[in-house]
Chain A
Amino acid sequence: MKKLINTPERLVDEELAGMALAHADLIRVEEPNIIVRRDAPRKGKVGVISGGGSGHEPMHGGFVGLGMLDAACPGAVFTSPVPDQMLAATKAVNGGVGVLHIVKNYTGDIMNFEIAAELAGAAGIEVKSVVMADDVAVKDSLWTAGRRGVGGTVLAEKIVGAAAEKNADLATLAALCQKVQDNVRSMGMALTSCTVPAAGKPTFEIGDDEMEIGVGIHGEPGRERRKLATADEITEALAVPIIDDLPFKRGDRVLAFVNGLGGTPLIELYVVYRKLAAILDGRGITIARNLVGSYITSLDMAGCSITLLRLDDELIRLWDAPVHTAALRW
Chain B
Amino acid sequence: MAITTAELADAVDTFAGRIHAAKEELTTLDSAIGDADHGINMDRGMSAVREILRELRQGDPGALFTQTGMKLISTVGGASGPLYGTFFLRLGTSLGETPEVTPRRLAEALRAGLEGVKARGKAELGDKTMVDAMTPAVEAFEAGADGDLTTALAAAATAAAGGRDRVTPVVARKGRASYLGERSAGHQDPGATSTTILFESLRDALAVTG
Contact = CB atoms under 8 A, between A and B. Distances in A.
Contacts of B76: 79, 82
B176 interface: yes
A216 interface: yes
Interface in A196-243: 196, 198-199, 203-204, 216, 218-221, 223-224
Given A76-B44, A108-B82, A218 B73 contact: no
B33 to A, nearest CB: 8
A145 B36 contact: no
Interface string A58-78: 000000000000000001111
Given A111-B83, A198-B37, A220-B35, A145 B78 contact: no
A7 to B, nearest CB: 13
Contact of A78 (B35, B81, B82, B175): B35
A79 B42 CA distance: 11
A145 B180 contact: no
Given A145-B175, A220-B179, A80 B37 contact: no
Interface string B28-57: 000111111100110010000000000000
A126 interface: no
A83 interface: yes
B77 interface: yes
Interface string A115-145: 1000000000000000000000111000111
Contact of B35 (A84, A114, A137, A219): A219
Interface string B62-83: 0000000000011111111111
A221 to B, nearest CB: 6
B35 A145 contact: no
B176 A220 contact: yes
A75 B78 contact: yes
A111 B183 contact: no
A294 interface: no
A290 interface: no
A111 B82 contact: yes
A41 to B, nearest CB: 24
A326 to B, nearest CB: 23
Contacts of A218: 34-35, 176
A144 B36 contact: no
B169 to A, nearest CB: 17
B41 A144 contact: no
Nearest to A216: B179
A144 B180 CA distance: 11
A81 B176 CA distance: 16
A148 interface: yes
Contacts of B44: 76
A107 interface: yes
B74 A84 contact: yes
Query: Interface of chain B, helix or strand or loop or mixed?
Result: helix
A221 B180 contact: yes
A219 B176 CA distance: 11
A78 B121 CA distance: 19
Nearest to B82: A111
Contact of B40 (A81, A106, A137, A198): A198
A112 interface: yes
A136 B49 CA distance: 39
Contacts of B75: 82
B118 interface: no
Interface in B150-184: 172-176, 178-181, 183
A260 to B, nearest CB: 19
B79 A80 contact: yes
Contacts of A111: 79, 81-83, 120-121
Contact of A223 (B33, B82, B181): B181
Nearest to B172: A144
Contacts of A76: 37, 40-41, 44, 77
B14 interface: no
Contacts of A53: 77-78
Contact of A83 (B27, B74, B172, B181): B74
A78 B82 CA distance: 16
Contacts of B31: 199, 203-204
A223 B78 contact: no
A220 B79 CA distance: 15
Interface in B91-144: 120-121, 127
A199 B77 contact: no
25 contacts: A76-B41, A76-B44, A78-B36, A79-B35, A79-B37, A80-B78, A82-B73, A82-B77, A82-B81, A83-B74, A106-B176, A108-B77, A111-B82, A112-B81, A144-B173, A145-B173, A145-B179, A148-B179, A196-B37, A199-B40, A203-B31, A220-B179, A221-B33, A223-B180, A223-B183
Give the 7 A-B CB pairs with smallest separation, nearest first: A111-B82, A218-B35, A108-B79, A108-B78, A144-B178, A107-B79, A79-B77
